[in-house]
Amino acid sequence: MKPRTAGILGGTVVASLAIAVAAASGVPPFAGGAPSTTASSTAPPTASYEGVVIRPVDGGPDFYAKFKDGLPSDPSFFPIAVWFESVLDKGNVTLDTGIGLNTYVELTANSDLHLVQASGMYAIPTFPSEYASGFALSDEVDMWAGPGNAPWTGKYPGEGPLCVPEESKCGYTVQKERRAVAPQGAMLYANYGKGVAFWLSDEESQVFFTGVQDVVSADTYWFTDPNICAKGEGGALNGYTRDLTEDECRLAANYGWTIDRVRKLHAPGPISPVWAFVEAGHPFKDSPGATTITAPEIRAAVWSSLIHGARGVIYFNHNFGSECISQHVLRDCGANVRPTVGALNQQITELAPVLNAPFLDGATTATGPVDVATKLHDGTTYVFAGANKKTGGKAAFHLRCGGSSAVVIDENRTIPITDGTFTDAFADGNAVHLYRIEGGGSCGF
């Protein structure tokens, strides 16, 4: 796909930006706190302007440069991955790069990682390889092994007893032993599940986030999981007091809640980059409540995650139900979603320098049913907003840094800014609008 980066990014250079960003890279660690409806942080600021705080992306802009043979640290790179694929020939890679994927997270053992590297893509497998750019620890260990230090048998679910004694918990041990076999200097990645999202205490969960992995994700499939609306799971959104309604539960904004939840679970200290985990099809066997995610839902879930600070995207690529059973959804079953996912990935790639740039917390306040994040890149402010109510609605945005107009990216329209405020409509819970603010708007950073 032909890039359109110049048209999206635009803007002018502010000479002081490099100094501000360099200072921001040493921002003190995030101290936790309840998940919020915006991409804010409780980290003390290194620089502020009338209440507007500049905050670097989690891990800092050069995070990936720390690792041996790691992912690119160039700000034009943003990880867009697919989960547990097989790469056997060039045709596989062509299909995947054709929709803007650039990374494989976990791969089948028979995958050709040399081909992956030679094709300009990146691999984070569960096994060592000279062609890898990272190493994956055990998946969802919080669920199948639990929070504990008991000995691990080395077996996985379905292979026999997991811990010793059998009824004990050994999840901490599993990740410790997986770290021990990882290549020296490799970037370590792990994905967790409903344990850290819903079931475990914060204290139990935080052990999985303390000196374990370098990049982390959590898979909560809000649009398709038949059980996630229950009081003991999605009920976390209301303090576990009741089941969620369908409108409360089947909502793109909840993917942003998951990002906030994982960020909160980091112990005091630097926050590891959190990657989004979004299903691309029908990840559960056919049963009451199990559904197939739609293309607009995928786009909205991904953007909600990015608004809340996700530093990468992973698509869950397996169908266990519906009409097309496959571990290659975006290759085999993606006719209904592939065009949207491709356009989404292109948009993310074009906006990578902005996504990798600092946040301007407090620069934008919104009145209405939206979550919002403000970013500063190359002297230009960007506002990303996604609906957080099923019905959508009108939102008013007040820009503390000013501006004359809001260019709506990829929508061929511009909204005037009057007295620092503009309004826009969000058609439904999947509505996302991305704005580039023209005519100033950097608060001096």
DSSP characters over 204-236: HHHHTTSSS-SEEEE---TTT-SSTTSTTTGGG
d(CA 125, CA 108): 8
Residue at token pair 């996504």: 355
Contact between 399 and 424 under an 8 Å Cβ cutoff? The reply is: no
**Sign of CA pseudo-dihedral 152, 138, 285, 388:** positive
d(CA 392, CA 410): 20
Domain boundaries, the chain: 5-56+358-438, 75-137+182-355
CATH of domain 75-137+182-355: 3.20.20.80
Contact between 393 and 368 under an 8 Å Cβ cutoff? The reply is: yes
Alpha helical stretches, state H, 150-308: 171-180, 194, 202-207, 246-249, 253-264, 295-307
Residue 14, SS3 per DSSP: coil
Q: What is the pLDDT of residue 29?
A: 26
Contact between 172 and 148 under an 8 Å Cβ cutoff? The reply is: yes
CA angle in degrees (0–180, nearest 5) for 226-386-8: 130
Contact between 135 and 106 under an 8 Å Cβ cutoff? The reply is: no
Q: What is the pLDDT of residue 26?
A: 32
Q: What is the pLDDT of residue 10?
A: 46
Which stretches of the chain score pLDDT less than 50?
A: 1-7, 10-46
Q: What is the pLDDT of residue 259?
A: 98
Q: Which two tokens stand for residue 77?
A: 């790179």
Q: What is the pLDDT of residue 9?
A: 57
d(CA 38, CA 386): 10
Q: What is the pLDDT of residue 48?
A: 61
Report cis status (omega within 30 of 0) of the bond before 165.
yes
CA angle in degrees (0–180, nearest 5) for 151-148-132: 75
Q: What share of the chain is helix, strand, coil (3-state, %, to 5)?
A: 25, 20, 50
Q: What is the pLDDT of residue 303?
A: 98
Cα dihedral value 140, 144, 150, 152, nearest 10: -80
Q: What is the pLDDT of residue 5?
A: 33
Which amino acid is located at 332 in the chain? D
Which amino acid is located at 35 in the chain? P
d(CA 41, CA 54): 10
Contact between 64 and 70 under an 8 Å Cβ cutoff? The reply is: yes
Q: What is the pTM of this model?
A: 0.90
Q: What is the pLDDT of residue 43?
A: 41
CATH of domain 5-56+358-438: 2.60.40.1180
Query: Are 5-56+358-438 and 75-137+182-355 in the same CATH fold?
Result: no
Q: Which two tokens stand for residue 213?
A: 């992995």
Report the interhelical angle of 295-307 vs 253-264 (nearest 10°). 30
Q: Which two tokens stand for residue 22?
A: 């360099």
Contact between 85 and 110 under an 8 Å Cβ cutoff? The reply is: no
